[in-house]
Amino acid sequence: MNFHICWIISALVIVSLAALAGKITRDAWTGILVDERGRFSLNHLQIVMWTVLVLSSVMAVFLARLFAGESSLLAFAIPQELLILMGISVGSAVVASAAKGAKDAPGSGARVARLGTQFRLAGGETRTISAHFGQVFQVEEGDRADEVVDITKFQNFIFTLLTGGAFVVLTWKQATLGGLPPLSKEILWLLGISHAGYIGGKLPNKS
C-alpha cells in the first residue's frame, strides 16, 4: 500500500473521530468546531485542520513503511518547519483562548456573543445568537457581533486555508518513505504574521 492511499485512509479515520467527538459532546457532527461560548471558532477549526493534515500524513508514512517491510518503522524525518507551523498554530490558539477567558471573567466589561445571548439592533429589534459557520470570521463582541466580518479573523482564515492547501500539494507530490517534505520559510513567516494580527485583534474590547 503506497503513501497516498495510506494518507487518505488516515485522514478519513481522524475526520471521522473528530466528527464523532462533536456528535457526542454537541449533538452535531461539526460540534468539535464549537467553542465554550457555543459559537463556531476559528481556533478550533485551525487546530482540527492541522491535526487532520499533519497527524494523518505522519501516520501515512508510518503505515507505508510498515507495508513496504521497512525494518525501522519510525526512522523517518519530520521537517523542522512543520514543527514550527504546529507551534504557531497551537501557540496562537492558547493565547486567543486566554484572551477569551479574560473577557468571559466576571467584571471584565466585555460584551461577548454567546449562544442564546440577545443583542439589540440599531432599529430596536433584538436577535438571539445561534451557532453558524460564518462565526469563524465574524466579530464576536459588541453591538455588531455576528453581523460584520472581523478582518483580522478573515485574513487569518484565508492564510490558514492557503497554508493548508500548500501543505497538501507539497506532501502529496514529495512525501517518501523517508519522511515529509519541508515547508517554505516564507510561508511560515506569512502564517506567523497572520496569527499575530489575529491575536492583536482579539485583545481590545469591542463596543
Q: Please enumerate in sequence order all residues whose Cβ is within 8 A of that of 143, keeping only pairs 6 or more positions apart, or say none.
A: 111, 119, 120, 122, 207
| Pairwise CA distance, residues 204 & 102, whole Å | 11
Mean pLDDT of 73-91: 86
pLDDT at 4: 94
Q: Using CB atoms within 10 A of its CB, is residue 117 exposed (0-12), middle (13-18) or buried (19+)?
A: middle
pLDDT at 121: 59
pLDDT at 63: 93
Cell of 178: 523517508
Q: Residues in the chain, how many?
A: 207
pLDDT of 164 strictly over 60:
yes
Instruction: Read off the pTM.
Output: 0.85
Give the pLDDT confidence of 18-35 residue by residue, as tens digits: 999 999 998 999 999 999
Lowest mean pLDDT among 67-76, 110-119, 161-170: 110-119
Q: Please enumerate in sequence order all residues whose Cβ is within 8 A of that of 12, keeping only pairs 6 or more positions apart, or say none.
A: none
Domain ranges of the chain: 3-99+134-202
pLDDT at 56: 95
Query: Average pLDDT of the chain?
Result: 86
